[in-house]
Structure 1
Amino acid sequence: MKFIPLCFLISLLVLFNTKPLQGAEPEPEPVVDIEGNPLQPEVGYYAWPLWGNSGGITLGHTRNKTCPLDVILDPKSIGVALFFTPPVDLGFIPTLTDLTISIRILSPCSQYSKIWKTSKVGSELWFVSTGGTAGDILSKFKIVNLEGDIYSFKYCPTKVYGTPCKSVGTFVDTDGTKVLAIGEGIDEPYYVRFHKSSTFPLRKHQDMSIV
């Protein structure tokens, strides 16, 4: 009986071992709405706050009241629909994946795109603004699952070093406006549930204006 060298056996084990290495990133799961259905690319969804039954995401003037508009919370309305575009069409919106997020609403800043981007307003503070470009580093956001159908947004571009990696929370501007932001002064993520906009009829009291 011939003996096979130990180094050859180890090489074979490494070659045919298909088990993922420990520490590898988990496979992304579908983001689901409040009805348990996976979010779909290029379909509008409201992002309703977890805490409270009113207020939604929209666009508004902050800082110097100039363009582009920033992403804010409006306590007087249910907000406007968000649209998500993944880098690869899987038939659903995945968690933990770089996404392009846009708010397609008429505004006085029509020369700017409605794609989310980070905009630096302080040494360690960034507002979530608009005027972004699909695929650009500043416009790569992720959706992170807390549990069940509860999610938050995160700015953490995949495999891009030297950029912030932080959860999106809220920052109260000087005039009292709550702006989606990351960095200094952000205590916790802004948790949301998603609702497909086409299944929610517009109410008479819904305010679709820019704040």
Structure 2
Amino acid sequence: MKVAKLQFLPLCFLSLLVFNTHPLLAAEPEPVVDKQGEPLQPGVGYYVWPLWADMGGLTLGQTRNKTCPLDVIRDPSFIGSPVTFHVAGSDLGFIPTLTDLTINIPILGSHCKEPKVWRLSKEGSGFWFVSTGGVAGDLISKFKIERLEGEHAYEIYSFKFCPSVPGVLCAPVGTFEDADGTKVMAVGDGIEPYYVRFQKSTSYSQKKGQEFSSV
């Protein structure tokens, strides 16, 4: 029995050494793609459209007390404003899913001077508007893009507020209809995911001379 143990132990250590010579490789991040199947690029403008339409895109507007900062809204009569995405410290060259992002809507002509970076703005118990005035890297300015699961859902996505920090709120971004009918992007109780597709702004021919939103 003693001989068997002496022979067995070295074999165990040898197998561990062989196993550990092959480092574990992290899975390649999945890129978010636009309607043409091309990966979203950092810093490039994209329209964010509802799933079944090329209008009603995201833009910025005054809600609540009609003051600054601006909130992220849907305008059913407008294609929306180009939205940009950034990943801190990343050299991937594309925007990945399920990764902390800084999201910006750099509209022109706004009298509200705060940065147009997304952030959560507390409005009540368990409810937040998606507003502007955020700062890249701040906890309340970290959003993710999540792909809809399913064989035919490759280009369908939703936004989540879900920072990669234990114990922090993780919930979908959806639509809340304000008292005046404005559709505001929000996070909170009863808010369902808002499914969207992305269209690169430089490859889309704007109709009827539409310009960037100015509020």
Contact 1:67 1:109 (8 Å CA) reproduced: yes
Contact 2:81 2:213 (8 Å CA) reproduced: no
Deviates more, 1:101-110 or 1:7-16: 7-16
Measure how far apart 1:65 and its partner are: 1.2
Measure how far apart 1:200 and its partner are: 1.1
- Whole-angstrom CA distance in 2 between matches of 1:26 and 1:117: 29
Contact 1:41 1:89 (8 Å CA) reproduced: no
- 1:54-111 deviation per Cα after TM superposition (whole angstroms, max 9, x unaligned): 211000111111110000000110000000011212111111111100001121202x
Gaps of 5+ in 1: none
Q: How many residues align?
A: 204
Query: Aligned to 1:109, which of 112, 122, 134?
Result: 112
Gaps of 5+ in 2: none
Identity of aligned residues (%): 60
Which position in structure 1 is the counterpart of 2:185? 180
Which position in structure 2 is the counterpart of 1:148? 154
Cα pair distance change 1:185/1:210, threshold 3 Å: farther
Which position in structure 2 is the counterpart of 1:58? 59
- 1:15-34 deviation per Cα after TM superposition (whole angstroms, max 9, x unaligned): 346457xxxx9642111111
Alignment of 1:65-84 (within 5 A): 65-84=66-85
Task: Provide the aligned C-alpha RMSD in A.
Answer: 2.2
TM-score (norm 1): 0.88
Contact 2:55 2:80 (8 Å CA) reproduced: no
- Whole-angstrom CA distance in 1 between matches of 2:188 and 2:24: 37
SS at match of 2:69: coil
- Whole-angstrom CA distance in 1 between matches of 2:103 and 2:23: 35
